[in-house]
Structure 1
Amino acid sequence: MLLYGRNPVLEALREGRISEVTLAKGVEESFVREIKATGATVRWTSRIELDQLVGTTQHQGIVAEVEDLAWASVDDILDRAEEKGEPLVVVLLDGITDPRNFGAIIRSAEVLGAHGVVVEERRSAPLSPVVAKTAAGATSYLPVAQTKNLPRLIDQLKEDGVWVYGAAGEAAQDIARTDFSGKLALVIGAEGEGLRRLVREKCDGLVRIPTRGKVQSLNASVAAGILLYEATKNR
Structure 2
Amino acid sequence: MAGNDQRRGGLRKTNKKGMVKGSGGQARRALKGKGPTPKAEDREYHAKYRAKKAAERRAQGRHEKETDEFVVGRNPVVECLKAKVPATALYVGQGTGADDRLTEAVTLANHRGIPVIEKPKFELDRMTGNAMHQGLGLLIPPFKYAEAEDLVEAARATGQPGLIVVLDNITDPRNLGAVIRSVAAFGGNGVVIPERRSASVTAVAWRTSAGTAARLPVARATNLVRTLKMFQQNGYQVVGLDAGGDHTLDTYDGTENVVIVVGSEGKGISRLVGETCDTIMSVPMVEWVESLNASVAAGVVLSEFARQRRVK
Give the TM-score of the pair, scaled to structure 1. 0.80
8 Å CA contact 2:165–2:192 kept in 1: the answer is: yes
**Aligned partner of residue 233 in structure 1, secondary structure:** helix
Given the alignment of the two structures, is residue 114 of structure 1 paired with residue 188 of structure 2, yes or no?
A: yes
Change over 3 Å in CA distance of 1:170–1:122 after alignment to 2? same
Q: Match for residue 152 of structure 2?
A: 78
Given the alignment of the two structures, is residue 221 of structure 1 paired with residue 295 of structure 2, yes or no?
A: yes
Q: Match for residue 127 of structure 1?
A: 201
**Aligned partner of residue 93 in structure 1, secondary structure:** strand
Counterparts in 2 of 1:1-235, with a 5 A limit?
1-3=69-71, 4=76, 6=78, 8-12=80-84, 17-18=86-87, 20-21=89-90, 25-27=99-101, 36-40=110-114, 64-212=138-286, 214-235=288-309
The one-letter code matched in structure 2 to 1:211 is: M
8 Å CA contact 1:88–1:184 kept in 2: the answer is: yes
Q: Which structure is larger by alpha-carbon Rg, 1 or 2? A: 2
Residues 177-232 of structure 1: CA deviation (Å, up to 9, x unaligned): 11001111000012211112221121111111111262210111111111111122
Distance 1:79 1:12 in 2: 27
Compare the two structures and name the one with the higher strand fraction: 1
Instruction: Using the TM superposition, give the Cα deviation of residue 32 of structure 1 relative to its aligned residue in structure 2, in angstroms.
Output: 7.0
**Aligned partner of residue 176 in structure 1, secondary structure:** coil
Change over 3 Å in CA distance of 1:5–1:82 after alignment to 2? farther
Change over 3 Å in CA distance of 1:6–1:183 after alignment to 2? farther
Query: RCO higher in 1 or 2 (8 Å CA, sep ≥ 6)?
Result: 1
Tell me how many residue pairs correspond in the alignment: 226
Instruction: Using the TM superposition, give the Cα deviation of residue 33 of structure 1 relative to its aligned residue in structure 2, in angstroms.
Output: 5.9
**Aligned partner of residue 177 in structure 1, secondary structure:** coil
Gaps of 5+ in 2: 1-68, 93-97
Segments of 4+ moved more than 3 angstroms: 3-8, 10-13, 17-24, 28-45
Aligned-residue Cα RMSD (Å) equals 3.1
Residues 145-165 of structure 1: CA deviation (Å, up to 9, x unaligned): 111211121112111110111
8 Å CA contact 2:239–2:281 kept in 1: the answer is: yes
Distance 1:18 1:196 in 2: 35
Instruction: Using the TM superposition, give the Cα deviation of residue 122 of structure 1 relative to its aligned residue in structure 2, in angstroms.
Output: 1.9
The one-letter code matched in structure 1 to 2:70 is: L
Distance 1:107 1:183 in 2: 20
**Aligned partner of residue 191 in structure 1, secondary structure:** coil
Distance 1:41 1:105 in 2: 31
8 Å CA contact 1:6–1:62 kept in 2: the answer is: no
Residues 124-166 of structure 1: CA deviation (Å, up to 9, x unaligned): 1222222222222122111111112111211121111101111
Give the TM-score of the pair, scaled to structure 2. 0.62
Distance 1:140 1:70 in 2: 10
Change over 3 Å in CA distance of 1:121–1:206 after alignment to 2? same
Distance 1:163 1:89 in 2: 10
**Aligned partner of residue 101 in structure 2, secondary structure:** coil
Change over 3 Å in CA distance of 1:94–1:18 after alignment to 2? closer
Distance 2:144 2:179 in 1: 17
Distance 1:186 1:122 in 2: 19
The one-letter code matched in structure 1 to 2:230 is: Q
